[in-house]
C-alpha cells in the first residue's frame, strides 16, 4: 500500500513565494534571489513529505505562477506576440518571458497583453488559458519537469514528476482562430510529451503522474478517443514507465469503462467528491491496474474521519489486495492552506477538528499505518470526530429547526412583480433611467489605514466610527451634488464583502494565516463556516440608517447574498451545502427585515458568485440552481411589496442561466455587461426578462474614464432591446478598487448620459 500525494501548496508557509515574486517584479530582488526562494520552497516541501513518510512525492507541482503556464512553456505553446520579449531585451531570461505571458509586458517600447486567466474547474484557483492556432506547432522549450526531478534527486529524494495530461492540457486551452478543434492537435502535441518522458526516464524517473481532470467531466466522443489515443501511444513508447492517471473534482461516472481500459499502471479517484464511483470501478478494474484512493479532502480544511476512510480502504483491499492500493488526498493539496500549526489563536476545540496541507500528509500516513494494524492514531481521531459531531459550538437546535421549518410561503414575495413595480413607482417616483452605483466607493489607503489603526489600538472604536462617518457623509454629499438618484453609503466600514458578514455571524471562524493561492502571487484567506449560522444582532443597520439619516434621497441598503457567502468560504462537510446556505439565507432575511424596519426602502443583496457554484457535471446543475435561487428568494422575501429588492451579479457568463436569474425575482438586477458590449442583454431580451435591470454601462476594472457618448450608445442599445421603463443606469460593479478622480469623472459622465437618454426618450414619446 503506497502513500501517494498529488501536489503540495507552493506559496510557502508564510507566503514566501508571493513576497519574492512581487519583490522581483518591482526590481527589489534579482533573478537569482527569486530562483533561490523557489528552490528553498521546493526543498522544504519535499523534505516535509519525506518525513511524513509519503512514498510518491510529487515534483513539478511547484510553480512560480501557474502549472498550466508551465506546461505551455514545456511544450512550446508560446503565442507569437511574446517573441519580442527575448529579442528586444537580451538581458531578459526565460522567467521574464514566463511572467510576460502571465502578466503582460510594458517595457522596452513593447506593450503586450497577458494571456487570459480563468477558473481551474470549480476552485478559486485561476490558470492561464493556453492559446492554440490552426497551424499550432509544439516543440520542447522549457525542461522544468526534468530539472525539478533532478534537483530533488540531488537532495536524495526520488520524486514522481507531475504533468498535466495531454488531453486535459488541450481541453484547458482555447482556439484563437476558427476552423479547427483543439483536440485535433493531439498528434502534434504527443511527440513533445515523449521528449519530456524520455528525459525523465533517462534521469531515473519511475512513476509519472498525468493529471487528467477532464476524464471526470462530461466528454464528447472525440475527446474520449483522444484519451485512448494518447495513453496507448505513451504505453507503446514507454512500456516500463509507471503511469498514474489522476482524476479529481468529480467522479468518472459514464467514463469509467473508458478509464479502466486505458493502458495505465494506476488510476486515481476523487472519493471525497464522488464516493459512489468506487463500487463500479472495483468491479471493472483490470488485474494489472493499481488504484489510488483519494479519501482525504484536498479542497477543505476538516480533519479526515479515519473510520470512514478505513471503510473505503477495506472495501478496495478486499477486492484488489494491498499491493495495488495507494492512499492519497482526493486532489492536489494546492487548494488548502499550508499549516495549521501557525494558527495559534483558534479556539482549541475547533482547532482539533481541522487539518491543513501539512496535517493532511500526516493523515495519509496515519491511514496507512492503521490499515496495516497499528491502531494508535485511530482513537485520537475518533475523539476529534465525536467532539465535532456533538459540540454545542456547532450544533444549535433552534437554527436547525428554523431551517427545517422553512415553508412554501417563505420564498415568495407578497405580490407578483407587476404589482410590486406599480407600488414602488408610486412610492419612489424615480425618473426614467434612474442612476445608481453598486455599493462600494474607493477604498483608499487612508480608509484601510483606519482599520489597521483600530486593530493596533491607535484609534478607539469611537474615533474609528467618526472617521468612517465622515467618509460616508462626504460620499453622500458628493452623490447628491452630481445628481445620482439612488445613493449608496460607500461600504467604507467593510474590509471585504464576505468577511464583513462572517465576522458578524455566529458559526464563522477566521484564520491568521490560512492563505490559499488564487492566481500568481494573489492569495485569499477564506473564512471557515464551522457551525450552525445565526445572526446575534443587526449587521448593517447602524451604517445604513446613519447614511439614510443624512440624505432625503433614497439610500440603498447593502448586503451579501447567501450563495456568495457560502461560495467564498470553506464550508462544512457534515451537512449539505444547501442546508448551510439556507441558514445564511435566514440570517440575511432577518437583516433585510431589520433594514426595512429602520426605514431603508431599497435593499441590494449581492450574488456575484451564484454562477461559480454551478456543478461541473451538467446533470447536477438543475438541482444546484434550484436550491441556490431558492436561498436567495428566502433572503429577499421577508419584506413588504413597497420595499425594492436589488441584486447584483458580475464576473461571469450568465446567458445560460438566465431563466434562473429571472426566477430570483429581484425587483432590480444590476449586472456586468459593458465588457461584452451588452451582448448579454440580447439574452435578457430574447428571454423577455420581466423585472427591472441595470446593465453596467462602464467597466470598473480599468481606470479609464468612459465618455458620455459611449455610455449613451450603450443605453440606446439597451433601450432597443428591453422596455425603457425597466432600465437603470449604473457601472458594472463596485468602485472599491478605483481611485477617486477617475470615479468622480466617470460617474459625472454616467449621470449626463442618463439625462441625455431621458431627454431623447421623452422627445420620441411626444
Ligand atoms: N456591493 C459590492 C461592492 O460594490 C459588490 C461587489 C461585487 O460584486 N463583487 O463592492
Ligand atoms: Zn460586481
Provide φ and ψ at 559, rounded to 5°: -130, 160
Residue nearest to atom 5 of ligand 1 (CA): 734
pLDDT of residue 51: 98
Using a 6 Å cutoff on CB, does residue 649 contact ligand 1?
no
Helix (H) or strand (E) segment spanning residue 671: strand 668-671
Domain ranges of the chain: 2-79+115-335+350-390, 423-765
pLDDT of residue 592: 98
b (16+ CB within 10 A) / e for 355-387: bbbbbbbebbbbbbbbbeeeeebbeebeebbee
Closest CA to 603 of 488, 751, 433, 471: 488
Residue nearest to atom 4 of ligand 1 (CA): 734
Could you tell me where the DSSP H helices lie in 397-459?
A: 397-404, 417-428, 445-456
Using a 6 Å cutoff on CB, does residue 751 contact ligand 1?
no
Rounded to the nearest angstrom, the distance between the alpha carbon of 670 and the centre of ligand 2 is: 9
Q: How far apart are CA 555 and CA 33, in angstroms?
A: 52
CATH of domain 423-765: 3.20.20.210
Closest CA to 592 of 638, 656, 544: 638
Do 2-79+115-335+350-390 and 423-765 have matching folds? yes
CATH of domain 2-79+115-335+350-390: 3.20.20.210
Using a 6 Å cutoff on CB, does residue 268 contact ligand 1?
no
pLDDT of residue 766: 53
Q: What share of the chain is helix, strand, coil (3-state, %, to 5)?
A: 50, 15, 35
Rounded to the nearest angstrom, the distance between the alpha carbon of 419 and the centre of ligand 1 is: 29
Indicate the SS3 state at residue 266: strand
Ligand nearest to the CA of 646: 1
Indicate the SS3 state at residue 639: coil
Closest CA to 364 of 274, 298, 265: 298
* Best residue among 124, 437, 438 to mutate for probing ligand 1, ranked by most atoms within 8 Å of CB: 438
Query: Assign residue 671 a region: left if phi > 0, alpha if psi is -120 to 50, beta otherwise?
Result: beta
Helix (H) or strand (E) segment spanning residue 218: none
**Which residues are CB-neighbours of 525 under 8 A, at least 6 positions away?**
337, 510, 511, 513, 514, 515, 516
Rounded to the nearest angstrom, the distance between the alpha carbon of 670 and the centre of ligand 1 is: 11
**How many Å separate Cα 234 from the centre of its chain?**
33
Q: 325 vs 260, 272, 290, 492, CA distance in Å?
A: 15, 17, 6, 54
Query: Assign residue 166 a region: left if phi > 0, alpha if psi is -120 to 50, beta otherwise?
Result: alpha
**Which residues are CB-neighbours of 565 under 8 A, at least 6 positions away?**
498, 501, 502, 584
Q: How far apart are CA 734 and CA 197, in angstroms?
A: 48
Indicate the SS3 state at residue 582: helix
Residues lower than pLDDT 70 in the chain: 765-766
Q: How far apart are CA 714 and CA 721, in angstroms?
A: 11
Q: How far apart are CA 297 and CA 300, in angstroms?
A: 6
pLDDT of residue 765: 62
Count CB atoms within 10 A of the CB of residue 15. 17
Residue nearest to atom 3 of ligand 1 (CA): 734
pTM of the predicted structure, to 2 decimals:
0.95
Could you tell me where the DSSP H helices lie in 203-305?
A: 221-237, 256-260, 277-284
Residue nearest to atom 1 of ligand 1 (CA): 439
User: Over the Cα atoms of the chain, what is R_g?
Assistant: 27
Rounded to the nearest angstrom, the distance between the alpha carbon of 733 and the centre of ligand 2 is: 4
Using a 6 Å cutoff on CB, does residue 3 contact ligand 1?
no
* 554-560/242-246 β-pairing: unpaired
Q: Is 660 a catalytic residue?
A: no
CA atoms within 13 A on the CB side of 213: 20
Indicate the SS3 state at residue 143: coil
Closest CA to 296 of 241, 245, 358, 228: 358
Rounded to the nearest angstrom, the distance between the alpha carbon of 237 and the centre of ligand 1 is: 53
* Best residue among 475, 486, 491, 654 to mutate for probing ligand 1, ranked by most atoms within 8 Å of CB: 491
Q: How far apart are CA 292 and CA 160, in angstroms?
A: 14
* Best residue among 443, 495, 606, 610 to mutate for probing ligand 1, ranked by most atoms within 8 Å of CB: 606
**How many Å separate Cα 125 from the centre of its chain?**
6
Count CB atoms within 10 A of the CB of residue 53. 14
Residue nearest to atom 9 of ligand 1 (CA): 608
Amino acid at each position: 500500500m503506497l502513500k501517494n500525494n498529488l501536489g503540495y501548496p507552493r506559496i510557502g508557509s508564510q507566503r514566501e513565494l508571493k513576497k519574492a515574486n512581487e519583490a522581483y517584479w518591482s526590481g527589489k530582488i534579482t533573478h537569482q534571489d527569486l530562483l533561490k526562494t523557489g528552490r528553498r520552497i521546493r526543498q522544504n516541501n519535499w523534505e516535509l513529505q519525506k518525513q511524513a513518510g509519503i512514498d510518491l512525492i510529487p515534483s513539478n507541482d511547484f510553480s512560480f505562477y501557474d502549472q498550466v503556464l508551465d506546461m505551455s512553456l514545456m511544450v512550446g505553446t508560446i503565442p507569437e506576440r511574446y517573441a519580442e520579449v527575448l529579442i528586444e531585451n537580451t538581458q531578459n531570461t526565460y522567467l521574464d518571458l514566463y511572467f510576460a505571458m502571465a502578466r503582460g509586458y510594458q517595457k522596452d517600447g513593447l506593450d503586450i497583453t497577458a494571456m487570459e486567466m480563468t477558473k481551474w474547474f470549480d476552485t478559486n484557483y485561476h490558470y492561464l488559458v493556453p492559446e492554440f492556432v490552426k497551424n499550432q506547432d509544439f516543440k520542447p522549450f522549457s525542461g522544468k519537469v526534468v530539472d525539478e526531478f533532478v534537483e530533488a534527486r540531488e537532495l536524495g529524494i526520488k520524486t514522481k514528476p507531475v504533468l498535466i495530461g495531454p488531453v486535459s492540457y488541450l481541453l484547458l486551452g482555447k482556439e484563437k482562430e476558427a476552423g479547427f478543434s483543439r483536440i485535433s492537435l493531439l498528434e502534434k502535441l504527443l511527440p513533445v510529451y515523449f521528449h519530456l518522458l524520455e528525459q525523465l526516464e533517462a534521469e531515473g524517473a519511475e512513476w509519472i503522474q498525468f493529471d487528467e481532470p477532464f476524464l471526470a467531466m462530461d466528454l464528447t466522443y472525440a475527446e474520449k478517443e483522444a484519451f485512448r489515443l494518447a495513453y496507448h501511444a505513451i504505453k507503446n513508447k514507454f512500456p516500463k514507465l509507471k503511469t498514474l492517471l489522476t482524476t479529481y473534482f468529480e467522479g468518472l461516472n459514464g467514463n469509467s469503462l473508458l478509464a479502466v481500459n486505458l493502458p495505465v499502471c494506476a488510476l486515481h479517484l476523487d472519493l471525497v467528491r464522488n464516493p459512489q464511483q468506487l463500487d463500479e470501478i472495483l468491479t471493472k478494474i483490470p488485474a494489472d491496474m493499481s488504484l489510488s484512493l483519494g479519501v482525504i479532502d484536498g479542497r477543505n480544511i476538516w480533519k479526515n474521519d479515519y473510520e470512514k476512510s478505513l471503510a473505503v480502504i477495506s472495501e478496495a483491499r478486499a477486492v484488489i489486495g494491498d499491493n495495488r492500493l495507494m492512499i492519497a488526498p482526493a486532489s492536489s493539496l494546492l487548494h488548502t492552506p499550508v499549516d495549521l500549526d501557525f494558527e495559534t489563536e483558534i479556539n482549541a476545540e475547533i482547532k482539533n477538528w481541522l487539518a491543513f496541507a501539512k496535517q493532511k500528509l500526516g493523515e495519509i500516513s496515519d491511514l496507512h499505518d492503521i490499515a496495516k494494524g497499528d491502531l494508535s492514531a485511530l482513537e485520537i481521531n475518533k475523539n476529534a470526530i465525536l467532539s465535532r459531531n456533538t459540540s454545542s459550538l456547532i450544533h444549535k437546535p433552534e437554527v436547525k429547526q428554523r431551517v427545517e421549518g422553512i415553508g412554501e410561503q417563505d420564498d415568495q414575495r407578497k405580490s407578483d412583480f407587476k404589482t410590486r413595480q406599480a407600488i414602488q413607482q408610486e412610492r419612489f417616483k424615480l425618473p426614467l433611467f434612474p442612476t445608481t452605483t453598486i455599493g462600494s466607493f474607493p477604498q483608499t489607503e487612508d480608509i484601510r489605514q483606519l482599520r489597521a489603526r483600530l486593530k493596533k489600538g491607535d484609534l478607539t472604536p469611537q474615533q474609528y466610527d467618526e472617521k468612517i462617518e465622515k467618509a460616508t457623509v462626504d460620499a453622500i454629499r458628493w452623490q447628491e451634488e452630481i445628481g445620482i438618484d439612488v445613493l449608496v453609503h460607500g461600504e467604507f466600514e467593510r474590509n471585504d464583502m464576505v468577511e464583513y458578514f462572517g465576522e458578524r455571524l455566529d458559526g464563522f471562524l477566521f484564520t491568521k494565516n490560512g492563505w490559499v493561492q488564487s492566481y500568481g502571487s494573489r492569495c485569499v484567506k477564506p473564512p471557515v463556516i464551522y457551525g450552525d449560522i445565526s445572526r446575534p444582532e443587526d449587521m448593517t443597520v447602524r451604517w445604513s440608517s446613519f447614511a439614510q439619516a443624512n440624505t432625503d434621497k433614497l439610500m440603498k441598503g447593502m448586503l451579501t447574498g447567501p450563495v456568495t457567502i457560502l461560495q467564498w468560504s470553506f464550508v462544512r462537510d457534515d451537512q449539505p451545502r444547501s442546508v448551510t446556505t439556507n441558514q445564511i439565507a435566514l440570517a440575511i432575511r432577518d437583516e433585510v427585515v431589520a433594514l426595512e424596519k429602520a426605514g431603508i426602502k431599497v435593499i441590494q443583496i449581492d450574488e456575484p458568485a451564484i454562477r461559480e457554484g454551478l456543478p461541473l457535471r451538467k446533470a447536477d446543475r438543475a438541482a444546484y440552481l434550484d436550491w441556490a435561487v431558492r436561498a436567495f428568494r428566502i433572503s429577499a422575501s421577508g419584506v413588504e411589496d413597497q420595499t425594492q429588492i436589488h441584486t447584483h451579479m458580475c464576473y461571469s457568463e450568465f446567458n445560460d442561466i438566465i431563466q434562473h436569474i429571472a426566477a430570483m425575482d429581484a425587483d432590480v438586477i444590476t449586472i456586468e455587461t459593458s465588457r461584452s458590449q451588452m451582448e448579454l442583454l440580447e439574452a435578457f431580451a430574447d428571454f423577455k426578462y420581466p423585472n427591472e435591470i441595470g446593465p453596467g454601462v462602464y467597466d470598473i476594472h480599468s481606470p479609464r474614464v468612459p465618455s458620455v457618448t459611449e455610455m449613451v450608445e450603450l443605453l440606446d442599445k439597451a433601450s432597443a432591446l428591453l422596455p425603457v421603463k425597466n432600465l437603470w443606469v449604473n457601472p458594472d460593479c463596485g468602485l472599491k478598487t478605483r481611485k477617486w478622480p477617475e470615479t468622480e469623472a466617470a460617474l459625472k459622465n454616467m449621470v449626463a448620459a442618463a439625462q441625455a437618454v431621458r431627454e431623447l426618450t421623452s422627445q420620441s414619446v411626444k
